[in-house]
Amino acid sequence: MIKMGLKLKDYNEILNKEVNRAYSLAKDAKSKSKDPINRVEIPLAKNMAERVEGLVGVAAPQIIGKGIPDRIGELEKEYGKLDWRVALVISEEVASSKFCEFEDKKEAIEVGIRVGFAYVTVGVVASPLEGFTGIDIRSRRDGKEYIALMYAGPVRSAGGTAASASVLIADYVRKKMGYAPYDADEIEAKRSVTEVTDYHERITNLQYFPYPEELEYLTLNLPVQIDGDPTEKMEVSNHKGLDRIATNNLRGGFCLVMSECLAQKAKKVLKQLDKWGSDFELTDWKFMTKFCKIQTRLKAKQKEDIVEDEKEKVSPDHTFIKDIVAGRPVLTHPLSKGGFRLRYGRTRTTGLSATAIHPLTMKVLRNYIAIGTQLKVERPGKSTVLSSCDYLEGPILKLDNGDVIF
């Protein structure tokens, strides 16, 4: 039992002592061979770099104790903690067998990608093992080899930004290992549109459902192929029997990565590439600049041609009401004057993900909106749950007699 009033140093020492005691007991119990495996399967990690090694080490035990955590520490001093460049470099070094040997080149690339993916997810989710299931080396139309990335449903746990980073990591490793970029054709691009649409309409509602133009442009320009094992019994409604897509069934991992990761998080990916993409020779990703402009135009329902030097401006985003279910109330239309607006921030009553409104706003709306109501907002595009905060400015009201009060 931990006594009250302990200093932080003493508290940490007690925690370490008790954890080590628990591991010692577990090792003794495992050594009796009563379980299928006679060792403690969860390694004890002192920091994030060791978590990365321990997580990926489950699938590739040969990397354990070969110096990967120390190298991650060196790279963090150079680039900063949780910088994507750390993931790129450590992935390439692992794939190049700088720490240990692998059975073949394919395994080396897979483990390298897993290490980088584990780093950007801070070693706490199963996505690097179960969400990214491996690679497939395939032939381009001209006979050169390219890499296809295989994803499955658990990639969702990584989050859209980190999963997008895994594609960037894989492409960096692909380039360093000498493979050619993916050469998608028009039929494969149309298959992407059809499959994501079928998945969204017949399986589950995607958090972000891209426009057909977005999916086609992504597929035709990505330097690696996004693929995955079939996760549904339902077949795609069109564009079946393609020679470089092994299944006609819907692929959940593929749909998630294309829509909720690469398409939804395109601006975040581009922001990173603008900083250091040229330093890492990621020239194949220059297409993301035009993709983001296409996406902005489609969301705003603008029909004018895209101009390369067009200045950025805030445009209406119709995505949040595009797929509204019949009967759901709409509190405001995109960027409409006098609409229902939210102030963004963090409070003790909202935590990291909820959104607060003033209690008087609830009262004025005759308690129509209550604590716990779920909203889908125009920006940043994710759903949120409402809480209340009386430190916010109250609503601006126009009374029946025409008076406006604050």
d(CA 152, CA 35): 29
Asked, for residue 42, whether it belongs to a domain, the answer is no
pLDDT at 6: 65
Asked, for residue 161, whether it belongs to a domain, the answer is yes
Asked, for residue 54, whether it belongs to a domain, the answer is yes
> Nearest CA to 114 among 91, 86, 89, 88?
91
pLDDT at 40: 79
Which residue range is the domain that position 287 belongs to?
A: 48-292
Among residues 264, 292, 320, which one ends one of the domains? 292
How far is residue 376 from each of residues 22, 48, 325, 360, measured CA to CA in Å?
A: 45, 34, 12, 21
CB 193 within 8 A of CB 210: no
Are both 263 and 352 inside the same structural domain? no
Token output for 267 = 């601006």
CB 114 within 8 A of CB 56: yes
d(CA 113, CA 337): 47
Asked, for residue 317, whether it belongs to a domain, the answer is no
Asked, for residue 66, whether it belongs to a domain, the answer is yes
Task: Name the DSSP class of 384.
Answer: E
Q: What residue ranges in 179-231 does DSSP mark as E strands?
A: 225-228
CB 359 within 8 A of CB 386: no
d(CA 113, CA 129): 10
Are both 148 and 226 inside the same structural domain? yes
User: What pTM was computed for the model?
Assistant: 0.75
d(CA 204, CA 196): 10
pLDDT at 147: 96
List the Cα angle 258/114/235 in 5-degree steps: 35
Are both 248 and 183 inside the same structural domain? yes
In the block, tokens 């950007």 appear at 120
pLDDT at 3: 55
CB 155 within 8 A of CB 129: no
Q: Structurally, how many domains does the chain consist of?
A: 2
Average pLDDT across each block of 10 residues of the chain; the chain has 406 residues. List them in order: 66 87 89 83 79 90 93 95 95 95 94 96 91 95 96 91 96 96 96 95 88 95 95 93 94 95 94 94 93 87 48 67 74 77 73 81 83 80 80 82 85
